[in-house]
Homo-oligomer: A and B are copies of this chain.
Amino acid sequence: MKTYLDCIPCFFKQALDAAKLAGANKSTQKKILKALSKEVLKFDLKECPTAMGRILYKLVRQITGRHDPFKEIKQKSNEFALSLYPRLKKKAERSKDRLLAALELAIAGNIIDYGIKSSLNIDREIDKLFAEEDRIIRREDKGLFDYPSFRRALKKAKKILYIGDNAGEVVFDKILIEEMEDKEIIYVVRGGPIINDALAEDAAFCGIDKYARIVSSGCDAPGTILKFCTGNFRKIFKEAGFIISKGQGNFEALAGEKAPVFFLFRAKCPVVTKHLGCKLGDIILKKAD
């Protein structure tokens, strides 16, 4: 997905939020915004928004001198999500369609963003998801929740390339991965610290290593931009017959690629909802064009 002009104000907002979260004082925050102004002047809008995300969070790291400012937040998310695991698992097991329930949970897990503060919110979100089956039917019409295609494609697949997104969310991915236990699964994490995105240590902490081989994409953007990935990952991606891509950042980065991808995410910003023709917060299961 290309970058829209409406993304630009948001880049400044993200940089400021990240600078504050990294504990930067006002003068450092200002330095970051000024550095970002210079980068915006050079940025090619044909690139995806995630490519600017990569630049802006790198600026925050460099200027604050903090290599992984979200480390603690990630660890808390992991622990919090693991504490939910027994309840999540029960919900999936009790469902008429376990795969669908697990899929919805995996997308629900995409709300674990560093913005989410209380366990109450997540409980409410999970309950809401299970109560909204009619919404899912409406979404099928638009091709934005294409469960039948997903189910068919999954049946044929022997290997799955599962591209993860945030720390904590990994636990929700585990529920879905457990429903595909008969497949050979590769779980992909980022190549370096970027916001609260899952690294190999997060995936392992959440127990993904029991079900999948954990592989780094090599990319330190908040989405999997192939040109910034390792040659090894690009080879795995190219050869994959069935890919699950979690989160909006991965959607932005991979939406233009010719590959057998199913994108699973919540639409979190007005630019993406406009791009897709959906509503803010909608849960999306979309086959790549």
Q: Which residues of A contact B (CB under 8 A)?
A: 5-6, 8-10, 12-13, 16, 26, 29-30, 33-34, 37-38, 40-41, 45
Contact = CB atoms under 8 A, between A and B. Distances in A.
Contacts of A40: 33-34, 37
A6 B13 CA distance: 7
A128 B30 CA distance: 40
A42 to B, nearest CB: 10
A16 B5 contact: yes
A184 B6 CA distance: 47
Contacts of A10: 9
Given A37-B37, A37-B40, A30 B45 contact: yes
B5 A9 contact: no
A205 to B, nearest CB: 34
Interface SS, A side? helix
Given A37-B40, A37-B41, A41-B34, A16 B9 contact: yes
Contacts of A8: 12, 16, 33
Nearest to A16: B5
Given A5-B16, A9-B10, A37-B38, 20 more contacts: A5-B26, A5-B29, A5-B33, A6-B16, A8-B12, A8-B16, A8-B33, A9-B9, A9-B12, A9-B13, A9-B16, A12-B12, A30-B45, A33-B40, A34-B40, A34-B41, A37-B37, A37-B40, A37-B41, A38-B41
Contacts of A13: 9
Contacts of A45: 30
A26 B38 CA distance: 20
Contacts of A16: 5-6, 8-9
4 closest cross-chain pairs (CB), A and B: A9-B12, A9-B13, A37-B37, A9-B9
A8 B38 CA distance: 14
Nearest to A5: B29
A12 B36 CA distance: 13
Nearest to A14: B9
Nearest to A4: B26
14 contacts: A5-B16, A5-B26, A5-B33, A8-B12, A8-B33, A9-B9, A9-B12, A9-B13, A9-B16, A33-B40, A34-B40, A37-B38, A37-B41, A38-B41
